[in-house]
């Protein structure tokens, strides 16, 4: 059930929202939770800004952003790159160190496509699957030629500088600048001072990554769905929110992504190199010796490696009848139950929730308008985890496909953005528009009292991270969580305070609340279970009604979910039985529910 308040809150400017949403309501008066004074409150009326003009603006400095910026620059246009953190260490780039490369030597291309599609439970976007396959060797060769396989962070930053790309690090981009229907830049602010950054551009590539709820683990704490929030505000559709990323981490060192990754490297023998599905399939089928150099999840029985799902046909050791999780844990939980051994070298148990709030890689984000990273806003392109490419469908396919997918999409988006920039004139942006956008950015710095954004984030985590909300779902619990998220949005967000630019960044990070509402509404809307989306009250795949993607759009300040059907030529062969279509995973309660349904 949707409340009017829940429908109408998002869609205003942040300044309008603050004026209209609950300012007259008394603060929560529970001891320790009352609003406190803002010692750093100051008028932002005269705040200045740096102004930059370029042909192409890339937002984000991870895999997708790097390739977008470099490939746009190779087209001979000026490029600026705005990064929330540091190039090469942004987003999930620190985690990505495996590349699954198609070379066509042992297994035909169509088998790759079919394998990825079936593992994604038949809602993968095959155009983007094919993009990943077609670009995988080129991406790997490019990374090799740059020397990035040895040290991504240093190499990426060096290459960006050598290419003459204007690099803006530690800059938070908060909104797109739009003239008419066309994007013409973006605006944000510096971490270190109360100063805005205005970037005027002929085209923009959104490569800002996905997000999570600042969990203690996995390198996602700086990702807060910024691209989704910017796009949604301007009427673009967002997709993929009902699914979950399933990475675990060590209980002893949950936030040390480098140590966890290195230990997994030792345990699974993952390495920088052309891991290829051809060899992995052949190895699993006993056709060639398997040397442990492929992705975890496609190890033959008796070899070392974690129990983690690879594409169907390669995970015969998965326990029959088990839930869609790993090692008997709740659906979507990679790490299994507490007590399972953690990565070697770290110790402690593997725990879930390391990526809480994140959807599957290459699943959530801005909905594409075509098969080449375009959006419905002229001049705006998207790539990587900021694009709902549905490359992996309802469940992550295999380690090594996400990094290459991000690079491939960045490559395509960068080239297209450069070509678009060559065809249009610089759009005019009024001073009045810039002033209004700056007022929105710095609103929390002016509040004389309010709630700490860190405290609001804790409240969000308490609502959304429990497994019985995001992993094991049911209508009554989803609606209960939605009621609480609506309360945060109506009563807490308008009263955020920021005593410094650091707290201002944390205030803007509460885009997580918007994402939480999207996640809950999408989960309520998809009345079936599929991949990492598990509904206790609908514990089965419903191919008749849900061969579709769930999109969310802002319509007249109402958050509206709707279906986008999978193209007929990509849909399942109707002659196969349910068990033939889904041979690998069984949801709890699935058999009884199917029998009753049939």
Q: What is the DSSP annotation of 467-484?
A: HHHHTSB-HHHHHHHHHH
**E strand or H helix at 365, and its extent?**
strand 365-366
Of the listed ranges 34-43, 113-122, 341-350, 561-570, the one predicted with least confidence: 341-350
* Confidence (pLDDT) at 450: 94
Highest mean pLDDT among 85-99, 502-516, 581-595: 502-516
Kindly report, as residue ranges, where domains of CATH 1.20.58.100 are found in the chain.
Answer: 4-45+447-549+587-597
* Confidence (pLDDT) at 13: 57
The H-assigned helical ranges of 424-510 are 431-441, 443-446, 453-464, 467-470, 475-487, 501-508
Of the listed ranges 206-215, 226-235, 286-295, the one predicted with least confidence: 286-295
Under the banding of pLDDT at 50, 70 and 90, the label for residue 598 is low
One-letter-per-residue 3-state SS of 318-333: CCCCCCCCCCCCCCCC
* Confidence (pLDDT) at 216: 78
Taking residue 598's Cβ as centre, other Cβ atoms within 10 Å add up to 7
Highest mean pLDDT among 281-290, 349-358, 429-438: 429-438
Q: What does CATH list as the number for 4-45+447-549+587-597? A: 1.20.58.100
Residue recorded with tokens 């396959």: 133
Q: Between the CA atoms of 36, 39, 43 and 47, what dihedral angle is there, to the nearest 10 degrees?
A: -120
* Confidence (pLDDT) at 348: 62
**E strand or H helix at 205, and its extent?**
strand 196-206
Under the banding of pLDDT at 50, 70 and 90, the label for residue 243 is very high
Q: At residue 271, does pLDDT exceed 50?
A: no
Mean pLDDT, range 161-175, rounded to an integer: 96
Distance, in Å, from the CA atom of 518 to the CA atom of 207, rounded to the nearest integer, reads 20
**Strand ranges in 60-152 using DSSP code E only, listed in sequence order:** 79-83, 99-100
Query: Under 8 Å CB-to-CB from 506, ≥6 apart: which residues?
Result: 453, 454, 457, 498
* Confidence (pLDDT) at 201: 97
Q: At residue 343, does pLDDT exceed 50?
A: no
Average pLDDT over the chain, rounded to an integer: 80
Under the banding of pLDDT at 50, 70 and 90, the label for residue 99 is confident
**E strand or H helix at 136, and its extent?**
helix 126-146
* Confidence (pLDDT) at 552: 98
Predicted confidence (pLDDT) per residue in 179-200, tens digit? 989 999 999 999 888 899 999 9
Under the banding of pLDDT at 50, 70 and 90, the label for residue 280 is very low
Q: At residue 32, does pLDDT exceed 60?
A: no
Q: At residue 66, does pLDDT exceed 90?
A: yes
* Confidence (pLDDT) at 304: 27
Under the banding of pLDDT at 50, 70 and 90, the label for residue 43 is confident
Distance, in Å, from the CA atom of 310 to the CA atom of 70, rounded to the nearest integer, reads 32
* Confidence (pLDDT) at 106: 61
Of the listed ranges 89-98, 345-354, 517-526, 547-556, the one predicted with least confidence: 345-354
* Confidence (pLDDT) at 492: 94
Q: Which CATH class is domain 50-446+550-586?
A: alpha beta
- Asked whether the beta carbons of 480 and 515 are under 8 A apart, the reply is no
Mean pLDDT, range 229-246, rounded to an integer: 95
Helix (H, G, I), strand (E, B) or coil at 79: strand
φ, ψ for residue 233 (rounded to 5)? -60, -30
Mean pLDDT, range 103-124, rounded to an integer: 84
Under the banding of pLDDT at 50, 70 and 90, the label for residue 34 is low
Beta bridge partners of 54: 201
Predicted confidence (pLDDT) per residue in 450-480, tens digit? 999 999 999 999 999 998 999 999 999 999 9
Q: Which of 267, 270, 214, 298 is nearest to 95 (CA)?
A: 270
Of the listed ranges 47-51, 211-215, 308-312, the one predicted with least confidence: 308-312
- Asked whether the beta carbons of 570 and 126 are under 8 A apart, the reply is yes
Helix (H, G, I), strand (E, B) or coil at 194: coil
* Confidence (pLDDT) at 596: 83
Of the listed ranges 27-41, 235-249, 419-433, the one predicted with least confidence: 27-41
Under the banding of pLDDT at 50, 70 and 90, the label for residue 42 is confident
Distance, in Å, from the CA atom of 369 to the CA atom of 523, rounded to the nearest integer, reads 23
* Confidence (pLDDT) at 95: 75
Distance, in Å, from the CA atom of 54 to the CA atom of 52, rounded to the nearest integer, reads 7
Q: At residue 160, does pLDDT exceed 80?
A: yes
Residues, the chain, total? 598
Q: At residue 342, does pLDDT exceed 70?
A: no
- 494 or 396: which carries more pLDDT confidence? 494
Taking residue 362's Cβ as centre, other Cβ atoms within 10 Å add up to 30
Query: Under 8 Å CB-to-CB from 425, ≥6 apart: which residues?
Result: 202
- 167 or 320: which carries more pLDDT confidence? 167
Mean pLDDT, range 17-45, rounded to an integer: 55
Q: How far apart are the first and last CA of the chain?
A: 27
Kindly report, as residue ranges, where domains of CATH 3.50.50.60 are found in the chain.
Answer: 50-446+550-586
């Amino acid at each position: 059930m949707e409340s009017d308040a829940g429908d109408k809150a998002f869609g205003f400017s942040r300044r309008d929202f603050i004026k209209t949403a609950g300012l007259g309501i008394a603060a929560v008066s529970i001891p320790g939770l009352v609003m406190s004074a803002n010692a750093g409150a100051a008028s932002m009326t005269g705040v200045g800004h740096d102004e930059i003009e370029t042909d192409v603006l890339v937002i984000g400095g991870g895999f997708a952003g790097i390739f977008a910026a470099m490939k746009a620059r190779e087209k001979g246009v000026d490029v600026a790159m705005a990064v929330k953190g540091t190039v090469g260490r942004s987003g999930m780039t620190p985690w990505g160190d495996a590349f699954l490369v198609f070379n066509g030597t042992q297994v035909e291309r169509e088998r790759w496509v079919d394998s990825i599609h079936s593992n994604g439970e038949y809602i993968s976007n095959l155009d983007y699957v094919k993009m990943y396959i077609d670009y995988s060797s080129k991406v790997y060769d490019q990374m090799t030629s740059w020397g990035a396989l040895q040290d991504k962070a240093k190499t990426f930053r060096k290459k960006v500088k050598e290419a003459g790309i204007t690099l803006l690090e530690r800059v938070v981009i908060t909104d797109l600048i739009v003239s008419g229907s066309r994007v013409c830049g973006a605006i944000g602010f510096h971490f270190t001072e109360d100063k805005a950054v205005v970037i005027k551009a002929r085209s923009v590539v959104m490569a800002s990554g996905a997000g999570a709820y600042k969990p203690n683990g996995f390198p996602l704490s700086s990702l807060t769905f910024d691209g989704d929030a910017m796009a949604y505000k301007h009427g673009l559709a967002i997709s993929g929110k009902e699914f979950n990323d399933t990475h675990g981490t060590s209980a002893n060192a949950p936030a040390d992504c480098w140590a966890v990754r290195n230990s997994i490297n030792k345990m699974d023998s993952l390495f920088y190199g052309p891991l290829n599905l051809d060899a992995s399939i052949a190895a699993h089928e006993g056709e060639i010796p398997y040397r442990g150099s492929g992705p975890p999840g496609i190890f033959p029985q008796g070899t070392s490696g974690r129990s983690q799902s690879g594409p169907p046909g390669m995970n015969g050791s998965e326990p029959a009848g088990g839930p869609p999780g790993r090692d008997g844990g709740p659906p979507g939980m990679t790490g299994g139950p507490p007590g399972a051994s953690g990565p070697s070298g770290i110790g402690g148990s593997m725990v879930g929730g390391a990526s809480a709030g994140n959807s599957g890689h290459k699943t959530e984000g801005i909905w594409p308008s075509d098969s080449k990273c375009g959006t419905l806003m002229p001049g705006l392109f998207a790539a990587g985890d900021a694009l709902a490419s549905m490359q992996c469908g309802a469940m992550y396919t295999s380690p090594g496909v996400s990094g290459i997918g991000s690079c491939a999409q960045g490559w395509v988006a960068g080239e297209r953005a450069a070509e678009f920039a060559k065809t249009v004139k610089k759009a005019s942006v009024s001073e009045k528009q810039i002033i209004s956008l700056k007022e929105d950015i710095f609103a929390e710095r002016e509040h004389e009292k309010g709630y700490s954004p860190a405290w609001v984030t804790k409240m969000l985590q308490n609502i959304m991270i429990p497994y019985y909300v995001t992993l094991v779902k049911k209508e009554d619990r989803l609606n209960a969580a939605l009621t609480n998220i609506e309360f945060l949005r109506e009563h807490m967000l308008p009263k955020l305070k920021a005593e410094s630019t650091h707290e201002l960044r944390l205030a803007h990070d509460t885009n997580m609340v918007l994402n939480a509402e999207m996640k809950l509404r999408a989960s309520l809307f998809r009345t079936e279970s599929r991949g990492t989306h598990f509904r206790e009250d609908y514990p089965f795949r419903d191919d008749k009604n849900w061969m579709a993607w769930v999109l969310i759009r802002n319509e007249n300040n109402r958050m509206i979910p709707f279906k986008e059907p999978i193209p007929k030529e990509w849909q399942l062969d109707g002659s196969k039985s349910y068990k033939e279509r889904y041979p690998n995973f069984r949801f709890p309660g699935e058999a009884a529910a199917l029998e009753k349904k049939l």
